[in-house]
Amino acid sequence: MFNTPNNNYQPWYPNNYQMQQQAGNGIIYVQGEAAAKSFDKILPGQSIPLFDSEENCFYIKTMSAAGIPQPLEIYDYKKREVVAKNETTTSDFITREEFEKRLAEISNGKHNIPES
C-alpha cells in the first residue's frame, strides 16, 4: 500500500562529475570554457568556482534565485611579481656633522633660505 523508501538510493551523476568532485578535495575542475558554461550541478542562488584543467584560469558560475544561469565570469591567473623595495640612497641624507653645521648656520642667521 505504501512505498517503502529505498535505503540503497544513491543519486546518479555522470562519471566525469564524480571524477571532478573527487579530484581536488572539493575543487571542481572543468575542461575549458564550454565545459564551465554547460556545468549544471549548481543550485538556484548559488555561485561556485570552477577551475580549468587546461588553461590558467577559473570561472565563477552563478545561478540566479529563479534558477536562471548568469553570464560566466572568467578570471586569469596572474603570477605575482615580487617587487624589491627601493633601496634608499645615501645621497638623500646628510651626515650628523653636515646637519649640525647647517643648524648652526641657520641659528646664526648666516644661511639664506630661498623664498618660494
Mean pLDDT of 53-81: 93
Q: Look at residue 87 and tell me whether its pLDDT is greater than 70.
A: no
Distance in angstroms (rounded) separating the CA atoms of residues 116 and 3: 94
Lowest mean pLDDT among 7-11, 55-59, 83-87: 7-11
Our CA dihedral for 90, 115, 109, 102, rounded to 10 degrees, sits at 0
Q: Exposure of 59 by Cβ count < 10 A (0-12 exposed, 13-18 middle, 19+ buried)?
A: buried
DSSP helix/strand/coil, 97: helix
pLDDT at 79: 85
Lowest mean pLDDT among 7-16, 38-47, 78-87, 100-109: 7-16
Q: Look at residue 18 and tell me whether its pLDDT is greater than 50.
A: no
Cell matching residue 104: 648652526
- Show me where the domains of the chain are located: 15-76
